[in-house]
Structure 1
Amino acid sequence: MRRWFAVTVAATAALLAVAGCTAGSGSDGDLTGGWAMIGPAVPFRPASGVCHENLPPDGSMETYRPVPCTELHLTETFGVREATDAPVPPAPGSAQSREAYERCAQRADAYLGGPWREARIGIRVFWPSRAGWRGGARWYRCDVTEADPDGLADRSRTGSLAGALRSASPLRLGCFEPQVTGDTVRAMAPVACTKPHRAEFVGLWRAPDVSYAALNDDRTDSARGCRSAIARYAGVPDDDRVQYRSGWISYQPSRTEWQLGERRVRCFLWFRDRRLTRSMRDAGPAALPVH
Structure 2
Amino acid sequence: MRRWLAAAAATTVVLLAAAGCTTTHGTDGDLTGGWAMIGAPTPFRPATKVCHESLQADSSLATYRPVPCTDLHVAETFHVADAPDAPVPPTPGSAQSREAYAQCAQRAEAFLGGPWRGARIAVQVLWPSRAGWRGGAHWFRCDLTETGLDGLAATGRSGSLAGALRGPSPLRLGCFDARVNGDSVTAMTPVACTQPHRTEFVGLWTAPEISYAALSADRTRTARGCRSAIARYTGVPDDDEVQYRAGWISYRPSRTEWQLGERRVRCFLWFRNRTLDRSMQGAGPTVLPVH
TM-score band, normalised by shorter chain: over 0.9
Q: Deviations over 1:74-119 (max 9, x none)?
A: 0000000010110000011111001100110011000000000000
1:250–1:268 CA contact under 8 A, matched in 2:
yes
Residue in 2 that maps onto 1:272: 272
Change in 2 beyond 3 A, CA 1:87/1:169: same
Could you say what secondary structure the match of 1:66 adopts?
coil
Q: Following the alignment from structure 2 to structure 1, what is the Cα–Cα distance between the partners of residues 271 and 76?
A: 36
TM-score by length of 2: 0.96
Tell me the distance in 1 between the aligned counterparts of 2:20 and 2:194. Answer: 90
Q: Which residue of 2 aligns with 1:208?
A: 208
What are the within-5 Å matches in structure 2 for residues 216-231 of structure 1?
216-231=216-231
1:237-256 superposed matches below 5 A: 237-256=237-256
**Cross-structure match for 1:104:** 104
Q: Residue 287 of structure 2 aligns to a residue in which SS?
A: coil
The CA deviation string for residues 38-71 of structure 1, in whole angstroms up to 9 with x for no partner, is 1000000000000000012210011111001011
Which letter maps to 1:274? R
User: In the alignment, which residue of structure 1 is the partner of 2:10?
Assistant: 13
| 2:51 matched residue in structure 1 | 51
2:155 alignment counterpart: 155
1:182 aligns with 2:182: yes
CA distance in 1, matches of 2:233, 2:63: 44
CA displacement 1:159-192 (0-9 Å, x = unmatched):
1000000000000000001111101111210000
Give unmatched runs, 5+ long, in structure 2: none
TM-score under structure 1 length normalisation: 0.96
Q: Tell me which moved more, 166-175 or 14-23.
A: 14-23
Cα deviation for residue 17 of structure 1 reads 4.3
**1: distance between equivalents of 2:22 and 2:132?**
43
Partners in 2 of 1:72 and 1:21 — Cα distance? 67
C-alpha separation in 2, matches of 1:21 and 1:201: 90
| Residue segments in structure 1 that go unaligned for 5+ positions in a row | none
Q: In structure 1, the residue corresponding to 2:284 is in which secondary structure?
A: coil
SS of the aligned residue for 2:277 comes to coil
SS in 1 for 2:77: strand
Task: State the 1:22 CA deviation.
Answer: 4.5
SS in 1 for 2:289: coil
* Letter matched to residue 163 of structure 2: G
Q: How far off is 1:276 after superposition?
A: 0.4
> Cα 1:23–1:114, aligned 2, differ >3 Å: closer, same or farther?
farther
Give the % identical residues: 70
Distance 1:87 1:22 in 2: 54
CA gap of 1:23–1:281, structure 2 versus 1, over 3 A, is: farther
C-alpha root-mean-square deviation of aligned residues, in Å?
A: 1.5
Q: Does 1:121 align with 2:121?
A: yes
Structure-2 change in CA distance of 1:31 and 1:173 (3 Å): same
CA distance in 2 between partners of 1:112 and 1:50 (Å): 15
Q: 1:16·1:22 contact (CA, 8 Å) conserved in 2?
A: no
**Is residue 172 of structure 1 aligned with residue 172 of structure 2?**
yes
What is the aligned residue count?
288
In the TM superposition, residue 152 of structure 1 has moved relative to its aligned partner by 1.1
Question: Is the CA contact (8 Å cut-off) linking 1:79 and 1:143 kept in structure 2?
Answer: yes
2: CA distance between counterparts of 1:281 and 1:163? 25
Contact 1:179 1:185 (C-alpha < 8 Å) held by counterparts = yes
Name the residue aligned to 2:23: 24
Bigger mean CA offset, 18-27 vs 41-50:
18-27
Residue identity in the other structure for 2:197:
H
